[in-house]
Homo-oligomer: A and B are copies of this chain.
Amino acid sequence: MVRTARYSEEHFIDAATALVAEGGPGAATMQAIARRVGAPTGSIYHRFESRSAILAAAWNASYGSLAGVLVPLLQAGSPREAALALLPWAEEDRQRARFLLQHEPVTLFEDAPPPERLRQEMEKLESEMDGAFRTCIAQVGAGASPEEDLARAKFLIFDAPIAIIRPHLLAKGAIPTFAGQMIAELHAAVPLAHAGKRGAGMRAA
């Protein structure tokens, strides 16, 4: 009853992801996406109502892939394993990693906000991840204010490993083995809940 589609949603999302990963949000023009897929620009609008919609879909796919790896480990109360899991994830899904790791979602949608459906999916993914972080903290045991505990966990499990991996993602080469060692060392030396020493216990020498 219908003509079969030659280009799938995924094609366009992947192209947009790659373009943003390589050249920033500005590089992902509708024409560039279409050219990369080999489709006419008009075809994109059969699947996405706007440029924001593609970018949001790309963000959801990337962030969802990340959450799929991280959330189970966080909920299991394994912060160290979660941090280390970022490494193979980034290596296997380099484009999505680069897409996520260099751009704040804020700058992705400078002009038009993404459609409601996608905006809600974004928020759901973010709150899912956030909840997993809180679950992990609750299991491991916290030390200070909830705000500080969360900031601490996000740094140790997410931002710090990312900071370690990022230079190697931007360069072409593979991620060196010492990156994993640095993450492991960090988690051995700096506990998520800074151990029971009286007070805060984290003033440095």
Contact = CB atoms under 8 A, between A and B. Distances in A.
A24 B109 CA distance: 10
Given A185-B202, A188-B204, A202-B182, A164 B155 contact: yes
Contact of A202 (B107, B152, B184): B184
A188 B160 CA distance: 16
Nearest to A190: B189
A193 interface: no
A25 B108 CA distance: 11
A167 interface: yes
Given A155-B164, A159-B164, A160-B160, A110 B181 contact: no
Given A23-B106, A24-B104, 13 more contacts: A26-B26, A27-B107, A27-B110, A148-B176, A148-B178, A151-B178, A155-B163, A155-B182, A159-B163, A160-B160, A181-B203, A184-B204, A185-B202
Interface of A: 23-27, 80, 102-104, 106-107, 110, 144, 147-148, 151-152, 154-155, 159-160, 162-164, 166-167, 170, 176, 178-179, 181-182, 184-190, 194, 200, 202-205
